[in-house]
Structure 1
Amino acid sequence: MELDRWELFIGGKWSAPADGGRAEVVEAATGKVLGRTAMASAADVDAAVTAAEHALTGPWGTMSAGERADLLDRFAAALKARGRDIAPLVSRENGMPLSLSIPVNGFSASMIVSYYARLLRELPTTDVRPSLIGETVVRREPVGVVGAITPWNYPQSLAAMKIGPALAAGCTVVLKPAPETALDAFFFADAAQEAGLPPGVLSVLPGGREAGEYLVSHPGVAKIAFTGSTAAGRAIGERCGRLLRPVTLELGGKSAAIIAEDADLTEFTGALLDVSLTNNGQTCHASTRILAPASRYDEVVDAVTDTVRGLRIGDPLDRATQIGPLVSAAQRERVHAYIDLGVREGARLTTGGTAPVDGLTDGWFVRPTVFADVRNNWRIAREEIFGPVLCVIPYTDEDEAVALANDSEYGLAGTVWTADVARGMDLAARIRSGTVGVNQYGVDLQAPFGGVKASGLGREMGPEGLAPYYSLKSVYRPAQEAAS
């Protein structure tokens, strides 16, 4: 299968990058070139934004909600038809085990787009409210051109979480995917063409930091939707603040799993891969701080260590693989640096470390690592590592457990593990984060997702995910005009 993509998708057409920019995409498991991608410059962003503005005043802007929903359904079907090609490609790009990539990259994008097509048919775009002077018609109108900037860890689902609601609201989208996963992003363009989306409704422009910064500041862009690191999010939020430009930021996390004294450790360790180490630890909502009661601390450490030690590391295209490689050499070195830091800080390494993974000399593999006897104020417990590294931290009572969970600059997710679900719900209510799981964790596309504190601004998914893409207009009219 030819993986090179020499052209950008702008205004419904394939176009060579204005400055001829190209980049190599490297396969995570081998360190070898997987394919090559065109890279956008400022001139390409200009062309895409202009096309997006024209689409707003053209066929897309004059379509009824039902007509847009029909097109979104065709777009979703075209994405679904490509799912079996998309999933393994993402696994090769970023190292995600195929067993995970099939649902979250192969089919989640089509599900998300379909969901917003359904909401578009169900939710009214206007409300009529009685007022002291007659009636007020509250109109929900598309905010305009959306600049969507997405990361490499869940490239398909995170892009769809922006494209789906934005298009449902009647906006147009310029998508700038991460260079590390640029190849799979072009499937959005292929599907848009097949579905018959009008020119300019969706453009796909892989690019580096400069292209992203230019898109954020472009005068034709009405809103930014970003997922990525907290550091980058702060810079984008600051720029959007100066421009008075709406922005949604889904950022980092350092979530805690509270193990209650009555917790079933078998249940927790059975879910540990999905809750704390999913996608090789390259997940913003992972519960990487494990808070264990002092009365069961050694038992928890042993159970977590044994589970992590037994995970199968290998080729991400092998469905039996549980831990694949990290996305890049730079990411591997970052994670190794944190492991070395943990040892220097005084943590007890119970499994893993920086030694090479047996038999895997190529690619960016890291041995899943567990640190015990960690203090919550150490850097390995406070900073987002974004790799397969867990910290087990003791607590004396539930009040301290909640205090430790909340003692973080982040607030994206968390989990509670207990035999008493009602008790778990009470603890979840005390955790200051945007999402919490009780005896499980899984993002629900029908519910809002996002964080507090340094984990971001705004929410994606669910009906709430539509709101950021609307501009509200109140039209005041006499009551007799409404009656006539």
Structure 2
Amino acid sequence: MQKLQCISPIDNRVYVERPLATEYEIQNALSGAQGAQQHWRQVPVSERAALVRAAVKNLQQKKTQLAEEICWQMGRPIQYAGGEIDGLAERALYMADLAESAQGPLGDIPLPEKSGFTRFIRREPLGTSFVIAPWNYPYLTAINAIAPAILAGNSVILKHSAQTPLCAEQLVAAFTEAGLPPGVFQYLHLDHRDAEQVLINGGVQHVAFTGSVAGGAAVESAAAGRFLSVGLELGGKDPAYVRADADLEYAVASIVDGAFFNSGQSCCGIERAYVHESLFDEFVQRATALIREYRLGRSDEQSTTLGPLVRASAADFVRDQIDEALAQGAQAHIDDGDFALDQRGSAYMAPQLLTSVNHNMRVMSEESFGPVLGVMPVADDGEALALMNDSEYGLTAAIYSADAEAALALGDQLQTGTVFLNRCDYLDPALAWTGVKNSGRGCTLSGVGFEHLTRPKSFHFRLEP
């Protein structure tokens, strides 16, 4: 029997081992999801929302346990891990409230009166949603797709990352304990081939994938010709721009946190910064001092503020980017020797800030997904805009400025899914979470996100023949 193994980045031991689903179990899950959805779609939205709220409460009650599991599975420092459950609650509860609101995204769409006719558009669930979730924010990214799919009347099959299998089990358990009918929400531990076969062989009507560009391309290829609704969230190389009028102390603290939280393993983390030349030297000085305050250590130690990357190969990938940039003339501002656990071949990696960088360097163009930040000076808004848009990605972009009008003018020209002013690395559930270019397509969260989980059906009734 094939097995899934989660190797903890803390100590490289096997933390979780699970058998992969058999072909019979996969087909049984798909059949169960299809049958359950036919009943679930008839359940009033208010009852669906109540079940989502109850599931959230179940997860909140297990916050300490879930935080410890996150820590050991993917390496987030224990002092921060529980915050993910708080974020899950915020998003799921917002979507539950939105779903059952009178003018919400699941109600009928009325049309102007026409004498002798009744006309409206009804939103129908798609069927079964296949959610493929990543390890870096294992509850937050999953709930973005799971909660609205269930609220809209779909059934859900969750395939979580092999690095975070307990998250799938805990999510399904929380909904089951809340009273969700059997078959509406299930998980399957699958390898890539079996996940691909689920898409190819049918049985699902929607797929929500969060992961790499290569993974997204594989999903699109597997779904080709099946006319599925496909949502792809594929990461980014997100920029920040510090204008001359910015609050520098605040901007430094926000950008450093956005770049190094979760060891830089965030799709919307800041990976490149452009600072007005009048503030550049002070920005680098302040940022370097702040980065040096991080404590690299085991994720299960309360004093740790920077944990290991998910695996040693991921850390070495970032190290290679940095080494290549240094060979091309970049300047490093952090001494790796100040972080005792840092060494090549280890998941424990020191943070780094680089200057004298340019867009010919991989560290400024290729997604790093690690604790490194490249910083460049710019002369004005025009230069900053050109550099921010010079990327194959477009997930978020952050502007730091006291001038909201100028930021809005810049934002209108930025090729990105979200524009921030004076903040970064955050998802507001009231706003559409989407990307452009290689950051993907489709949308989750907000009322717009529900549109990707339903199809319109038009009703045109002539009242008298």
TM-score bin (small chain): over 0.9
Query: Which secondary structure state, in structure 2, belongs to the residue aligned with residue 155 of structure 1?
Result: coil
1:126 corresponds to 2:105:
no
User: Which runs of 5 or more structure 1 residues have no equivalent in the other structure?
Assistant: 1-19
Aligned mate of 2:225, from 233, 242, 250: 242
Report the AA paired with residue 309 of structure 1.
R
Query: Which secondary structure state, in structure 2, belongs to the residue aligned with residue 141 of structure 1?
Result: strand
Q: Which is worse superposed, 33-42 or 395-404?
A: 33-42
Aligned mate of 1:387, from 330, 345, 370: 370
Q: TM-score, normalised by structure 1?
A: 0.89
User: Which runs of 5 or more structure 2 residues have no equivalent in the other structure?
Assistant: none
**1:71-150 pair list within 5 angstroms:** 71-104=51-84, 106-122=85-101, 123=104, 124-129=106-111, 130=113, 134-150=117-133
Kindly indicate whether the alpha-carbon contact (under 8 Å) linking 1:415 and 1:428 is maintained by their aligned counterparts in 2: no
Aligned identity (percent) is: 31
Q: Tell me how far apart the structure 2 counterparts of residues 473 and 179 of structure 1 sit (CA, whole Å).
A: 38
**1:337-356 pair list within 5 angstroms:** 337-352=320-335
Give the root-mean-square deviation of aligned CA atoms: 2.1
1:24 and 1:352, CA in 2 relative to 1: closer, same or farther beyond 3 A?
farther
Report the AA paired with residue 470 of structure 1.
T
1:143 and 1:440, CA in 2 relative to 1: closer, same or farther beyond 3 A?
same
Q: Tell me how far apart the structure 2 counterparts of residues 407 and 265 of structure 1 sit (CA, whole Å).
A: 24
1:28-76 Cα deviation digits (max 9, x unpaired): 1211222222323444322211110010223x23322222222222222
**1:205-284 pair list within 5 angstroms:** 205-284=188-267
- Offset of 1:475 from its aligned partner? 1.6
Report the AA paired with residue 87 of structure 1.
A
Kindly indicate whether the alpha-carbon contact (under 8 Å) linking 1:257 and 1:291 is maintained by their aligned counterparts in 2: yes
Indicate the residue corresponding to 1:68 in structure 2: 48
Q: Tell me how far apart the structure 1 counterparts of residues 115 and 23 of structure 2 sit (CA, whole Å).
A: 50
Q: Tell me how far apart the structure 2 counterparts of residues 337 and 131 of structure 1 sit (CA, whole Å).
A: 66
1:163-184 Cα deviation digits (max 9, x unpaired): 1000000000000000001122
* Count of aligned residue pairs for this structure pair: 459
1:55 corresponds to 2:39:
no
Query: Which secondary structure state, in structure 2, belongs to the residue aligned with residue 383 of structure 1?
Result: coil
Q: Tell me how far apart the structure 2 counterparts of residues 413 and 352 of structure 1 sit (CA, whole Å).
A: 30
Kindly indicate whether the alpha-carbon contact (under 8 Å) linking 2:10 and 2:72 is maintained by their aligned counterparts in 1: yes
1:312 corresponds to 2:295:
yes
Indicate the residue corresponding to 1:431 in structure 2: 414
Indicate the residue corresponding to 1:454 in structure 2: 438
- Offset of 1:227 from its aligned partner? 0.6
- Offset of 1:339 from its aligned partner? 1.9
- Offset of 1:425 from its aligned partner? 3.1
Indicate the residue corresponding to 1:323 in structure 2: 306
Report the AA paired with residue 474 of structure 1.
S
Query: Which secondary structure state, in structure 1, belongs to the residue aligned with residue 141 of structure 2?
Result: helix
**1:399-410 pair list within 5 angstroms:** 399-410=382-393
Kindly indicate whether the alpha-carbon contact (under 8 Å) linking 2:172 and 2:186 is maintained by their aligned counterparts in 1: yes
Report the AA paired with residue 297 of structure 1.
F
Kindly indicate whether the alpha-carbon contact (under 8 Å) linking 1:450 and 1:457 is maintained by their aligned counterparts in 2: yes
Query: Which secondary structure state, in structure 2, belongs to the residue aligned with residue 243 of structure 1?
Result: coil
Report the AA paired with residue 36 of structure 2.
A
- Offset of 1:456 from its aligned partner? 0.9
Q: Tell me how far apart the structure 1 counterparts of residues 464 and 109 of structure 2 sit (CA, whole Å).
A: 17
- Offset of 1:133 from its aligned partner? 7.4
1:158 corresponds to 2:135:
no
Query: Which secondary structure state, in structure 2, belongs to the residue aligned with residue 315 of structure 1?
Result: coil
Query: Which secondary structure state, in structure 1, belongs to the residue aligned with residue 334 of structure 2?
Result: strand
Q: Which is worse superposed, 460-469 or 265-274?
A: 265-274
Report the AA paired with residue 70 of structure 1.
A
1:132 and 1:393, CA in 2 relative to 1: closer, same or farther beyond 3 A?
farther
- Offset of 1:237 from its aligned partner? 2.3
- Offset of 1:132 from its aligned partner? 8.2
